[in-house]
Amino acid sequence: MLVIFICVLLFFIFLYRFLVAYGDFTLMSKKQPKREEIEDKVVWITGASRGIGEILAKQLASLGAKLIISARNEAELNRVRTQLKGRHAPDEVMILPLDLSSGEDSLRVAVEKAESFFPDSGVDYMIHNAAFERPKTSILDVTEGGLKATFEVNVFGTITLTKLLAPFMLKRGHGHFVVMSSAAGKTPAPGQALYSASKYALNGYFHTLRSELCQKGIRVTVVCPGPIETSNNAGSKVPSEVYLGVYSILSLCVLIVAIVPLNMPCGVSQQKRVSAERCAELTIIAATHGLKEAWISYQPVLAVMYLVQYMPVVGYWLMDKVGKNRVEAAEQKGNTYSLSLLLGKKKAP
């Protein structure tokens, strides 16, 4: 009986930890970034003028990194630089305006400039954070223009930049690509077909790049965040408490279904996401610990990712049940992570 009791207790502890998790178990086991992996290293960040990119710049500067920050808006990059504090910030922070859709010749010039900023070391970390995402819409409403715009930035530009920078890293015998992918690159994302396709492409490319070049000193960390809370003021604090999602948990076991609804408001106003600050911190933790892939999300997205990865029949069945309702919820600007999507309940207008 004692053994049974211990087993049941351990199961409930595991269940609780899973329900309140905000990342995959490997990532959750790493508590702090390794400062020695960042201090005095050259880190190039794309999409650094706002959101997660801006917050990554602030956190990396505080850890002693030498930064190169890029985005299309030079004025915003200057604003970000003035707010950075650290051993090499703001005075040694380099601004490099960059448009990932500008073509290979333009990107080659950008890489050469980036490598020349710190000639004694070159670029140690390349953080691919820039991305293009359109509003959620039906897959039937996808336009050729939207397809080109999404893939020019999310795939073609990112891959071209990597191809141009990798030889410099190989010559030095080390380098690390950190790729801000998405949960939409691990699971179906109804209403986000183009964005999802672009992130699947990135995942495939960078995992293959690592397999080919890891023995030559090239490391890759693919980060897959789910819904992230960003604010107009990227430096402001965002509440980190979570009201646990439920629709993905239903497919795990009946017990979870019984527990979660008792504690979880499902209304749009109650939807909680991982804060941008926490997402950036976890990204740095994943990179400095050399993780090959990291998932960042509260439930239910995290559970869906586990299901699709390890129980694909159940995971895809679940997303098939949700798909049509999620697109409709997006069109009505409703909660696209609600229990009602699985159960088919209509939300009050």
SS in 3 state form for 87-153?
A: CCECCCCEECCCCCCCCHHHHHHHHHHHHHHCCCCCCCEEEECCCCCCCCCCHHHCCHHHHHHHHHH
CA distance linking residue 135 with residue 89, whole number of Å: 35
**Catalytic residue, candidates 22, 125, 195, 205:** 195
Pairing verdict, β 66-69 and 94-95? parallel
What does the alpha-carbon distance between residue 199 and residue 164 come to, in Å, rounded to a whole number? 20
Q: How distant, in Å, are the alpha carbons of 19, 247, 338 from that of 261?
A: 12, 10, 11
Helix residue ranges per DSSP H, the chain? 2-19, 25-28, 51-62, 74-83, 104-117, 144-151, 158-172, 193-213, 254-259, 276-288, 301-310, 312-331, 340-343
- What would the two tokens of residue 153 be? 């930035």
Structure token pair of residue 34: 């390794």
Catalytic annotation present for 200: no
Best CA proximity match to 201, nearest among 127, 161, 150, 163: 150
Residue 175's beta-bridge partner residues?
Answer: 218
Q: Both tokens of residue 133?
A: 């995402």
Q: Do the beta carbons of residue 186 and residue 203 sit within 8 Å?
A: yes
CA distances from 335 to 142, 166, 260, 280, 327 (A): 22, 41, 18, 24, 10
Q: DSSP letter for 156, please.
A: I
Q: By three-state DSSP, how is residue 33 classified? A: coil
Distance CA 41, CA 63 (A): 10
Catalytic residues: 195
